[in-house]
Amino acid sequence: MRKSFLLDLLFPVKCLACGQEGAWLCESCFRKLKFGAPETKHRLIVPELTAIFIAGDYDDPLLSELIKKFKYNFLTGPGKVLGRFLILFWQGQLSANRNLAVAEKFLLLAVPLSKKRRRWRGFNQAEILAQELAESFSYPLGQELKRIGHQKPQAELSEQARLANVRDAFVWTGASLAGQTILLIDDVVTTGATLNEAAKALKAAGAAAVYGLVLAKG
């Protein structure tokens, strides 16, 4: 976390849309972020998920710029803004879907990074998003989902290569998840291969249902 903390201090915080100082996205520009992603843009391969919820579209220039700053520029500040966006989206889903709203409390999990990639970045962006949601909704946040080994970045691979790259890449190291409902958090989904493999490991550990919640469809 030290690398990202120093970068947040060294570079002045300005709104990515209008340049106003003091926030990564000012209130006026935050309201320009758009919820929703085109369902037909990419075919998702997520048979292990009960359902997947996608807050926005990576083609939204403002949303994608925030994600890039967060994910590739080693800056944790944009994660707060993105966390708020995800929280507002999830509140809407709970209001619209009574089955979700009355479900037993979710166990919140972030899709883990490999140890090597986490050391390189200094933090796990999905974990920061999950922490924001856990605080807002009082969901318990688990840490026992682990990534095995080190895989190539999914963004560099074809669809078939993505599937092979993350096959059996996750393991649950905690107690039995028998009867538990999981809310699995990630930043961007393209084919769904990563989320699906993580969900497979969770269901093997006994999870009754695994829902995916992501910032954007890429």
CATH number for the domain that contains residue 150: 3.40.50
Q: Distance (Å, rounded) from C-alpha 36 to C-alpha 193?
A: 21
The residue to which tokens 């201090």 are assigned: 9
| 3-class DSSP assignment, residue 10 | helix
Q: Distance (Å, rounded) from C-alpha 117 to C-alpha 154?
A: 13
Report the pLDDT value the prediction gives residue 1, as an integer from 0 to 100: 47
> 184 pLDDT exceeds 60?
yes
Q: Distance (Å, rounded) from C-alpha 187 to C-alpha 66?
A: 11
* Residue 9 domain flag: no
Average model confidence (pLDDT) for the chain? 86
Q: How many other CB atoms are found less than 10 A from the CB of residue 190?
A: 18
Q: Distance (Å, rounded) from C-alpha 9 to C-alpha 77?
A: 10
* Residue 11 domain flag: no
Structure tokens at 185: 């958090």
CA-CA-CA-CA dihedral for 190, 2, 152, 68, to nearest 10: 30
- Containing domain of residue 180, as a range? 34-217
Report the pLDDT value the prediction gives residue 42, as an integer from 0 to 100: 54
Name every residue whose Cβ is closer than 8 Å to that of residue 78 and which is 6 or more positions away in sequence: 16, 24, 25, 66, 67, 69, 70
Q: What is the mean pLDDT of residues 104-119?
A: 88
Which of 111-125, 149-163, 169-183, 184-198 is the least confident region? Answer: 149-163
Report the pLDDT value the prediction gives residue 7, as an integer from 0 to 100: 54
The answer to whether the predicted template modeling score (pTM) of the entire model surpasses 0.85 is yes
* Residue 13 domain flag: no
* Residue 18 domain flag: no
26-77 pLDDT per residue, tens: 999 999 999 987 654 457 889 999 999 999 999 999 999 999 999 888 788 8
> 113 pLDDT exceeds 50?
yes
* Residue 27 domain flag: no
* Residue 23 domain flag: no
Name the pLDDT band for 165 (thresholds 50, 70, 90): low
Judging by DSSP bridges, how do beta strands 170-172 and 145-147 pair with one another? antiparallel
- What stretch of H or E contains 187? strand 181-189
* Residue 129 domain flag: yes
* Residue 29 domain flag: no
The count of domains in the chain is 1
Q: Distance (Å, rounded) from C-alpha 180 to C-alpha 121?
A: 31
